[in-house]
A = this chain, B = another copy of it.
Amino acid sequence: MAHISIIGSGNMGQAISGLVAKGGNTVELVTSSDTDKVVTGEIVVLAVPYASVAQIVADRGPQLAGKVVVDITNPVDFATFDGLTVAADGSAAAEIAAALPESRVVKAFNTNFAGTLVAGSVGDQPTTVLIAGDDADAKALLAAAVGAAGLRAIDAGGLKRARELEALGFLQITLAAGEKVSWAGGFAVAA
């Protein structure tokens, strides 16, 4: 059984917390303003907007050492809504990994709308969490928690693939914002 901390109590933090509990793992939900609360999970999900990550990393870097840190962000440039704010050949996950060299950073959940994590399906497919990271054990630990909740986890490759996951997440957000897909739909993965 895994113990998982979620930092952030927005719709994604709540959805991921529900998922963890549904899978029989234990969850600790911490608001991002609750900076004095030391997180105890072996997996820590940063369920906050990209713009809030830097402060969490600054505040909590040492306590995240050795842990699996899950980056769920889509670093959308909300001023233009026409691209991402990270380097074209980089990713938010790569930046976070560079800032947390003692942690095992994985990218996950950024291609899942919160509603699909709650519903457990997109179309006729189980909601699929694409996970990228350079540490196989870290990915397997997260995948087990996802699978225990009845969702599907797919190992999407090394952390370098976070670039493509963030492109996918951004594209999906633009499609939903443009009412081309619903926030309950989007990209399903048909195995």
Contacts and interface: CB of A to CB of B under 8 A. Distances in A.
A67 interface: no
A180 interface: yes
A60 to B, nearest CB: 30
A184 B106 CA distance: 28
A88 B174 CA distance: 20
Copies of this chain: 2
A21 B100 CA distance: 55
Interface residues of A, number: 36
Contacts of A184: 190
Contacts of A149: none
A122 B188 CA distance: 9
A163 interface: yes
Contacts of A99: none
A124 interface: yes
Nearest to A188: B188
A188 B89 contact: no
Given A88-B88, A185-B190, A188-B187, A161 B171 contact: yes
Nearest to A90: B88
Interface of A: 82-83, 87-89, 122-125, 154-157, 160-161, 163-165, 167-168, 170-171, 174-175, 178, 180-182, 184-191
15 contacts: A87-B88, A88-B88, A88-B89, A123-B123, A123-B190, A156-B175, A157-B178, A164-B170, A168-B171, A180-B191, A181-B190, A185-B189, A185-B191, A187-B187, A188-B190
